[in-house]
Structure 1
Amino acid sequence: MPAWIIIVLVSILCVGFFVIGLSLTLIFKGHHIDSEISTNKDMQRLGIRCAVQESRDDLAGGDCRADGCSGNCAGCDIDHDRSRKE
C-alpha cells in the first residue's frame, strides 16, 4: 500500500476522532456548551463579565448596564464610550 494512502487514512481517522471528541458535551448532555457571558448562569454567578463591560465600568465609574450594555460581548461596542465622552 502506498505511503500517501496511509497518510490520508490516518488523517481522516484523526479528524473523525477530534470531531467526536468535540461533540462529547452535545452527545452526553444534549446541548451545546453555553459560552456566552450574558446567558451563562455559572459565569454570572462567579462574577465573570465581558471585557468591554469591564472597560465601560472602569471608565464610567459605575454600572455600564445603565448605558445599555447587556454583558454580551457580541452586542457591546467599545467605541460607545469614546463617542459619549467626546
Structure 2
Amino acid sequence: DDPSHLEFEYVRRLAHVVDGAAEPGAPLDVLHLGGGALTLPRYVAATRPGSRQDVVDADRGLLGLVREHLPLPDGSGITLHAA
C-alpha cells in the first residue's frame, strides 16, 4: 500500500493544492477537518516527512475503525481528535 498513490480524483486535487503550499518535501503543519480513512494525511506524511497533522472528525466510530483496522505508522506525525 503506497500512501502516495491517490485513487480518487478529488483527493488528487486536494493533494495538488497541498503540494503547491511549500517546496517539495518541506514539512507542513496541517489541520484536516474530517479524516475519512486518512488518505490525505497519510499522503502528506509520506511526501512531507516531519509534518505535524491534526485530524478532527465528528464521527468517533470512524476514528475507532481507522485506529483498529487502518493503523497509522509510528512517527507519522498524525494526531486524531474526535469533535
Q: Could you tell me the TM-score, scaled by structure 1's length?
A: 0.21
Structure showing greater radius of gyration is 1
Relative to total residues, which structure has the larger helix share, 1 or 2? Answer: 1
